[in-house]
Amino acid sequence: MFTRHWRLWVAGAATAALVLPLAWLWKASLLPDTFDLASMGYAEWGDGPVGALGAASGHHAHGIPVAELTGPDRPADVRETLTVRDEGDRITVNGTTPGPTLRVTQGDLVEVTLVNDDVEDGTTLHWHGVDVPNAADGVAGVTQDAVMPGEEYVYRFVAEDAGTFWYHSHQVSHEQVQRGLLGALVVTPEGGPAEEPDVDEVAVLHRYGAEGTLNGDAGVSVLDAAPADQVRLRVVNTDNGMASLWLPGTVFRVLAVDGTEVHEPSDLADVAVPVPAGGRVDLGLTVPAGGARVDFSGGPSLAIGGADAGATRSTRPDETLDLLTYGEPKPPPFDVDNPDRRFEYTIGKRPGFLDGRPGIWWTVNGGLYPDIPMYMVTEGDVAVFTISNESDDTHPMHLHGHHGLVLSRDGEPATGSPWWTDSLEVGVGEAYEVAVLADNPGIWMDHCHNLTHAAEGLVAHLMYDGIASSFHVGGHHHNEPE
Q: Which residues here bind ligand C2O, judged by CB under 6 A?
A: 126, 128, 168, 170, 278, 398, 400, 445, 447, 449
Phi-psi region of 310 (alpha: psi -120 to 50; beta: other; left: phi over 0): alpha
Largest CA distance in the chain: 96
| Amino acid in the structure at residue 159 | A
Name the binder of 414 from Cu ion, ligand C2O, none, CB < 5-8 A by kind: none
For the bound state, the minimum distance from the C-beta of residue 450 to Cu ion, rounded and expressed in Å, comes to 4
Return the number of the residue (323 or 459) whose C-beta is nearest ligand C2O.
459
Among Cu ion, ligand C2O, none, partner that 278 touches (CB below 5 to 8 angstroms by kind): ligand C2O
Strands (E), 317-430: 341-354, 357-364, 367-368, 373-377, 382-389, 395-399, 404-409, 412-413, 420-421, 423-426
Nearer to ligand C2O, 139 or 225 (CB): 139
Least distance in angstroms from the C-beta of 421 to ligand C2O:
13
Residues 442-471 that bind Cu ion (CB under 5 A): 448, 450, 453
The CA-to-CA distance between both ends of the chain, in Å, stands at: 57
Question: With CB cut-offs between 5 and 8 Å by kind, which of Cu ion, ligand C2O, none does residue 445 bind?
Answer: ligand C2O
Dihedral of alpha carbons 297, 298, 304, 310, sign: positive
Half-sphere exposure of 407 (CA within 13 A, CB side): 19
Would you call 58 exposed, middle or buried from its count of C-beta atoms within 10 A (0-12, 13-18, 19+)? exposed
Partner interacting with residue 126 (select from ligand C2O, Cu ion, none; CB below 5-8 Å by kind)? ligand C2O
Handedness of CA 84, 87, 90, 96 (dihedral sign): negative
Task: Give the residue with the Cβ less far from Cu ion, 447 or 472.
Answer: 447
Measured distance CA(8)–CA(17) in Å, rounded: 14
C-alpha 169/C-alpha 176 separation (Å) is: 6
Neighbours of 136 (CB within 10 A): 26
CB of 299 to ligand C2O, least distance (A): 23
The one-character DSSP state at 62 is: S
Q: What is the DSSP string of 181-236?
A: -EEEEEEEPTT--SS--SEEEEEEEEEETTEEEETTB-SEEEE---TT-EEEEEEE
Please say which residue, 127 or 362, places its beta carbon nearer to Cu ion.
Answer: 362
Burial (Cβ within 10 Å: 0-12, 13-18, ≥19) of residue 380: exposed
Nearer to ligand C2O, 368 or 460 (CB): 460
Q: Which does 449 bind (CB under 5 to 8 A by kind): ligand C2O, Cu ion, none?
A: ligand C2O
CB of 131: closest distance to Cu ion in angstroms?
23
Least distance (Å) from ligand C2O to the CB of residue 231? 26
Binding partner at 156 among ligand C2O, Cu ion, none, C-beta below 5 to 8 Å by kind = none
Residue nearest to ligand C2O (CB): 128
Q: How far is the CB of 126 from ligand C2O (least distance, A)?
A: 5
The site map against Cu ion for 383-412 (x = CB under 5 A) is ------------x-----------------
Q: Considering the complex, what minimum distance in angstroms separates the CB of residue 203 from ligand C2O?
A: 18
CB of 173 vs ligand C2O, minimal distance in Å = 7
With respect to ligand C2O, which residue has the nearer C-beta, 51 or 259? 259
Of 220 and 397, CB closest to ligand C2O: 397
Question: Nearest approach, Cβ of 375 to ligand C2O (angstroms)?
Answer: 15
The answer to whether the beta carbons of residues 376 and 46 sit under 8 Å apart is yes
Considering the complex, state which of residue 220 and residue 455 has its C-beta at the smaller distance from Cu ion: 455
Question: What span, in angstroms and rounded, lies between the C-alpha atoms of 385 and 373?
Answer: 12
The partner in contact with residue 450, picked from ligand C2O, Cu ion, none with C-beta cut-offs of 5 to 8 angstroms by kind, is: Cu ion
Query: Which residues would be at the binding site for Cu ion (CB under 5 A)?
Result: 395, 448, 450, 453
